[in-house]
A and B are shown apart, each in its own frame.
Chain A
Amino acid sequence: MKSVIKGAGYILVHTPDMVLHNGTTQTTERIVNPDGEYLKELPSHIRTFDQALSYWPNQVYIGNKTPDELAAVPQPWCDKVCDVNDRYGHFGQIMPQEEFLLLMQACDVFGLVKLEKGFVEAHKAALAANPIMDETIMARIPAEQTDAAEIQRLVDEEHSEGLYHNGQLVGCVNRAHDIDVNLSAHVMHENLVSKASSVMALLSAVKNAGIAKEDVEYVVDCAEEACGDMNQRGGGNFAKSAAEIAGLPNATGSDARGFCAAPAHAMIEAAALVASGAYKTVVVTAGGCTAKLGMNGKDHVKKGLPIMEDMVGGFAVVVTQDDGVSPEINLDMLGRHTVGTGSAPQAVISSLVTNPLDKHGLKITDIDKYSPEMQNPDITKPAGAGDVPLANYKMIAALAVKRGELQKADLASFPVKHGLTGWAPTQGHIPSGVPYIGFAREDIMAGKLNRVMIIGKGSLFLGRMTNLFDGVSFVIQANTGAEEAPSGVSEEEVKGMIAKAMRDFAATLMAQAE
């Protein structure tokens, strides 16, 4: 059985106050350098919602602009205004912070999110008007809200994590346990942001795929947070928690983890679950990450740039049984960085790119587009991390030259022909290969492309459990049409085979008798 990409959803949330209060670069700075220049300068570099909407890479992420259109815009992009500034897009939407704080409360099942009465009154109608919201989700927002003074007390005396909007304290997330650090207000805040953004992605993907919510049988969450308590710190499970809020009654699910490689792992798992017949419809989902907000902020501020890491990201992809038209995931062409691969860049790229191609006698140039790590270079270049997608394309091209599949003179044109310009926010797992799946599905179905390789790479060493790197890749290809009927054997053929076996046996006996 084949598994196909039925649809995808991509969402962003503009969270300027979370940059200041929850990004680890800022929270660390507040501890080590509270009176430093950076924290003083930072607020004047924060973007407004309108600026975030008219930022080119954001419009590409939600599908209102294409990667090709973005590539034609000269970098840097942070000083350019995109001619489309719609908050709703072809693949999803960009949600403003005020609506998201309400959605976080709707996603909280433990009474931890407290919001100020006036704030809720001012913004509840806006969230209700959001096309992916429904009455069931809105009904989760409690009628009784909290006084500003009580919120201030909770933050001052009860270790609650403040929720801010336009610099004002408008709510808080309480701790879920007095002693257990795994249920601290900080962790609960981080996890509720991940969950709420995953819910948005799930709702967008299900809508875009044109399936019923009841069709979803399994959800795989591939974000980078962990939920659990002190007795099972990463017990899980974000997938089912988000499916519950999104209203997927027939779904269960589980969490797959692997740093930035997790989305690619999860896609392969989803495709295999469907191809095996275990489940008919599986959704891979991930919410975003508050810790990474403003991660490279120091460099951006130092260079007079706006804080571009002010977006929480999310995505979801619906994988279903073959529908005869949607692009397929080729499970026979998987790349794997194994324990024995090592960390040399050429070994890593070989394991992910050429090993699966070699199995089918394909050349590097037989893949129309590669989607490795699609980080937005506007963010990474000023921070000294270079242009990450471009570096990946250069490595793939260098390998192609080594293998004699590309002329050295064509090194420079390879990234243009087989690559993409990065547009995804630096939210770890969010940029990792998957941002292109939505566009790839459409371009393959339009006949523009035949084969696309999605590459996920993960920095496992950051967990200090191994020094190893990780990665997996898979190929999405045009649907090859209706599957052949299972190759059975007809009754006539069976009779013929038996007759032949009898004749052969008789001949053997006669030969022995002679």
Chain B
Amino acid sequence: MSILAGKKVIIIGDRDGIPGMAIEACAESAGAEVVFSSTECFV
């Protein structure tokens, strides 16, 4: 069973790792619905 297809996805990206918007594009390509996307910054 797939992990992402049809699921509600919450994204916590990182400005020094993978930013939220880049993860959004991936999640949507897997058939997930992105309900929240944010990017954190530790510096």
A and B touch in the complex (CB under 8 A): yes
Measured CB to CB, the residues of A under 8 A from B are: 260, 295-296, 342-345, 373, 375, 380, 383-386, 388, 391, 426, 428, 431, 457, 459, 461-462, 467, 469
- Say whether A467 contacts B37, CB under 8 Å: yes
B29 surroundings in chain A (CB, below 8 A): none
- Say whether B42 contacts A459, CB under 8 Å: no
Whether A386 contacts B22 in the complex (CB less than 8 A), given A375-B43, A426-B43, A459-B39, comes out as no
- Say whether B41 contacts A462, CB under 8 Å: yes
Bound state CA distance, A488 and B30, in angstroms?
Answer: 62
> How would you classify the secondary structure of chain A's contact residues: helix, strand, loop or mixed?
loop
- Say whether B42 contacts A384, CB under 8 Å: yes
Contact sample, A vs B, 22 pairs, CB 8 Å cutoff: A260-B43, A296-B42, A342-B22, A343-B22, A344-B19, A344-B22, A345-B18, A345-B22, A375-B43, A380-B42, A380-B43, A384-B42, A385-B14, A388-B43, A426-B43, A457-B15, A459-B15, A461-B20, A461-B38, A467-B37, A469-B19, A469-B21
Nearest-Cβ distance from residue B23 to partner chain A, whole angstroms: 9
Q: B39's contact among A380, A431, A457, A461, by CB below 8 Å, is which? A: A461
Q: A342's contact among B16, B17, B21, B38, by CB below 8 Å, is which? A: B21
- Say whether A383 contacts B42, CB under 8 Å: yes
Contact with A along B27-40 (1 / 0, CB 8 A): 00000000001110
Whether A467 contacts B16 in the complex (CB less than 8 A), given A383-B42, A384-B42, comes out as no
Measured CB to CB, the residues of B under 8 A from A are: 14-22, 25, 37-39, 41-43
B17 surroundings in chain A (CB, below 8 A): 386
- Say whether A385 contacts B43, CB under 8 Å: yes
A388 surroundings in chain B (CB, below 8 A): 16, 43
Nearest-Cβ distance from residue A346 to partner chain B, whole angstroms: 9
- Say whether B20 contacts A385, CB under 8 Å: no
A431 surroundings in chain B (CB, below 8 A): 43
Whether A467 contacts B15 in the complex (CB less than 8 A), given A383-B42, A462-B41, comes out as no
A467 surroundings in chain B (CB, below 8 A): 20-21, 37, 39
In the complex, residue of chain A having the shortest beta-carbon distance to the beta carbon of B25: A344
New contact pairs (11) apart from A459-B15, A461-B38, A461-B39, CB-CB < 8 Å: A342-B21, A343-B39, A344-B19, A345-B18, A383-B42, A384-B42, A388-B43, A428-B43, A431-B43, A461-B20, A469-B21
A457 surroundings in chain B (CB, below 8 A): 15
Nearest-Cβ distance from residue A339 to partner chain B, whole angstroms: 12
- Say whether B21 contacts A343, CB under 8 Å: yes
Nearest-Cβ distance from residue A145 to partner chain B, whole angstroms: 38
In the complex, residue of chain B having the shortest beta-carbon distance to the beta carbon of A375: B43
Q: B20's contact among A343, A345, A384, by CB below 8 Å, is which? A: A343
Bound state CA distance, A342 and B16, in angstroms?
Answer: 15
In the complex, residue of chain A having the shortest beta-carbon distance to the beta carbon of B42: A385
Q: A386's contact among B16, B18, B41, by CB below 8 Å, is which? A: B16
Bound state CA distance, A383 and B42, in angstroms?
Answer: 8
B39 surroundings in chain A (CB, below 8 A): 343, 459, 461, 467, 469
Nearest-Cβ distance from residue B29 to partner chain A, whole angstroms: 13
